């Protein structure tokens, strides 16, 4: 069944996990032959991509084929808010969304993340349309999905003020969003359980761990690893232990620096730290790395260098304090790179201890992580076993496979939402645009 999908996320990004998942979802749906659009703000990585004032003077949004992201993007009138922090708000979004749905004839809306008004407004809009239909005012059926990328409001990361606000938002806003949604997408079974506790129907929950973007890796399959190592001034004939992710406190890359310090006598092991960082914390990581001969700090790297770094790595390390899943770990595993992890949140499900990697005793276990890395360098048989397991697990979590399961679930929800389930399957299979048949039928 042909779908016209709006994926709703508060900004675009070249590096942040949730934003990348939303952007990839649009790209993959279009590759399947559907029409998918990213509905987002005027912001890209926290900076205005276009001026919001210009949108308010017209219809509240503008459509562009973004050449950098490689996807169709609808940017809506929006502004950055002081609270909750790190969030963006869409202005007058219920009305603007109505215009977008009508112009692009959307029949699926998928919202991402928490603590912002996008999912709340979409839930209100969808409920409004449903009430209108129930009272005899025909509106095209819309399937609503929500993907929270949920993480518990941990006292280790958040102040009392922010933690309690998140708890309140989860109880009052997120619980209603989960009850309204046709499907709730969870990156791990752990998140599914959390969603059910907050009001989601377990039958509505679909496992959607984002997946590996194989197309990206195929694009750089013939790229020269030696050229990358030389350009990045990374020594050859050593085992690379890599950290790849944003340079922020939650991801805990300073722990990688501490591990490197503890293993500085091992001249056969070299650490690489790569990722975007524009904070005092990132400056500290860079400064402490610069004094170590066994560490290369690369900063933000492009997709080609990212691929080459993963392919040249022997071990991936992440001692994150909080993690819903870990897309980078999945990408390392795809190339058979075992992961040494703090095993917090979704990491404990993605990377199984002794199967695809090694669990340290939490984010502060420098000694345990260093020992695990040394063992994986010294014990080739153990490394090979974990490497093979990592490849197999990642192959089951590639984007096309995961998206095909979501696509099938969306079809079932459209059939339920529209009333097409009353038409026999053999008749449905003959309809090119079944929603047009339903519209005619409903109009008498």
- pLDDT value at position 342? 97
Whole-Å CA distances, 333 to 100, 273, 313, 371, 377: 39, 18, 11, 20, 16
pLDDT at position 135: 87
Hey, what CATH topology would domain 214-395 get?
Answer: Rossmann fold (3.40.50)
pLDDT of 152 over the 90 cut: no
Average pLDDT in the chain: 92
CB 18 within 8 A of CB 116: no
Q: In the predicted model, is pLDDT for residue 444 greater than 60? A: no
DSSP calls for 365-432: -HHHHHHHHHHHHH-HHHHHHHHHHHHHHHHTTBHHHHHHHHHHHHHHHHHHHHTGGGS-HHHHTT-S
Q: Give 267's pLDDT tier (boundaries 50, 70, 90).
A: very high
Percent of the chain at pLDDT > 70 equals: 93
User: What is the pLDDT, as a whole number, of residue 430?
Assistant: 67
Classify domain 4-211+399-442 at the CATH topology level. Answer: Rossmann fold (3.40.50)
The model's pLDDT over 116-148, given as tens digits with 9 standing for 90+, comes to: 999 999 999 999 999 998 888 767 889 999 999
Residue 427 has pLDDT above 80, yes or no: no
- Please give the average per-residue pLDDT across 66-83, as a whole number: 94
pLDDT tens per residue, range 304-360: 999 999 999 999 999 999 888 999 999 999 999 999 999 998 999 999 999 999 999
CA distances from 378 to 259, 314, 367 (A): 16, 11, 16
Give dist(CA 9, CA 292) in Å, integer: 39
Give the start-to-end residue ranges of the domains of the chain: 4-211+399-442, 214-395
Instruction: Name the residue with higher pLDDT: 400 or 350.
Output: 350
Query: What average pLDDT does range 377-384 have in this prediction?
Result: 98
| Per-residue pLDDT band at 392 (split at 50, 70, 90) | very high
pLDDT at 205: 97
DSSP at 279: S
- C-alpha distance from residue 363 to each of 192, 229, 282 (Å): 24, 29, 17
Poorest-pLDDT segment among 4-13, 51-60, 397-406: 51-60
Sole residue written with tokens 């013939």: 222
pLDDT confidence of residue 355: 97
pLDDT for res 92: 95
Distance from CA of residue 396 to its chain's centroid?
17
pLDDT of residue 154: 79
At residue 434's C-alpha, the angle toward residues 110 and 73, to 5°, is 30
Residues 119, 164: Cα–Cα separation, whole Å? 20
pTM of structure? 0.87
What pLDDT does 17 receive?
A: 85
pLDDT value for 434: 61
How large is the average pLDDT for residues 269-275? Answer: 97
Residue-wise pLDDT for 237-265, tens only, equals 999 999 999 999 999 999 999 999 999 99
359, β-bridge pairs: 341
């Amino acid at each position: 069944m042909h779908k016209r999908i709006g994926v709703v996320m508060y900004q675009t990004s070249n590096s942040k996990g949730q934003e990348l998942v939303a952007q990839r979802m649009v790209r993959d749906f279009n590759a399947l032959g559907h029409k998918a659009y990213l509905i987002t703000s005027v912001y890209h990585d926290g900076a205005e991509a276009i001026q919001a004032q210009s949108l308010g003077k017209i219809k509240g949004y503008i459509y562009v084929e973004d050449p950098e992201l490689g996807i169709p993007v609808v940017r809506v009138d929006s502004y950055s808010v002081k609270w909750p922090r790190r969030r963006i708000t869409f202005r007058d979004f219920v009305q603007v969304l109505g215009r977008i749905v009508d112009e692009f004839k959307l029949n699926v809306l998928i919202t991402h993340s928490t603590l912002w008004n996008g999912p709340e407004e979409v839930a209100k809009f969808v409920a409004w349309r449903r009430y209108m239909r129930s009272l005899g005012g025909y509106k095209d059926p819309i399937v609503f999905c929500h993907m929270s990328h949920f993480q518990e409001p941990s006292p280790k990361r958040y102040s009392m003020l922010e933690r309690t606000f998140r708890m309140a938002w989860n109880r009052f806003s997120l619980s209603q969003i989960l009850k309204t949604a046709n499907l709730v997408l969870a990156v791990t079974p752990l998140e599914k359980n959390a969603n059910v506790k907050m009001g989601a129907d377990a039958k509505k929950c679909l496992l959607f761990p984002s997946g590996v973007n194989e197309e990206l890796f195929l694009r750089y399959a013939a790229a020269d690893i030696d050229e990358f190592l030389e350009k990045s001034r990374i020594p050859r004939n050593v085992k690379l232990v890599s950290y790849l992710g944003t340079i922020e406190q939650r991801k805990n890359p300073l722990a990688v620096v501490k591990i490197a310090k503890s293993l500085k006598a091992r001249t056969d092991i070299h650490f690489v730290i790569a990722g975007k960082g524009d904070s005092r914390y990132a400056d500290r990581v860079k400064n402490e790395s610069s004094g170590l001969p066994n560490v290369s700090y690369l900063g933000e790297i492009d997709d080609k260098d990212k691929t080459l770094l993963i392919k040249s790595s022997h071990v991936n390390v992440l001692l994150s304090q909080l993690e819903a899943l870990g897309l980078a770990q999945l990408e390392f595993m795809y190339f058979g790179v075992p992961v040494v992890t703090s095993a917090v949140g979704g990491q404990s499900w993605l990377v199984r201890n002794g199967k695809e990697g090694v669990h340290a005793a939490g984010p502060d276990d420098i000694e345990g992580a260093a020992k695990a890395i040394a063992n994986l360098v010294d014990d080739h048989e153990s490394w090979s076993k974990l490497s093979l397991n990592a490849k197999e697990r990642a192959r089951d979590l590639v984007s096309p496979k995961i998206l095909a399961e979501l696509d099938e679930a969306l079809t079932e929800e459209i059939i339920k939402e529209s009333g097409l389930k009353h038409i026999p399957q053999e008749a449905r299979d003959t309809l090119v645009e079944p929603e047009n048949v339903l519209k005619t039928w409903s109009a008498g």
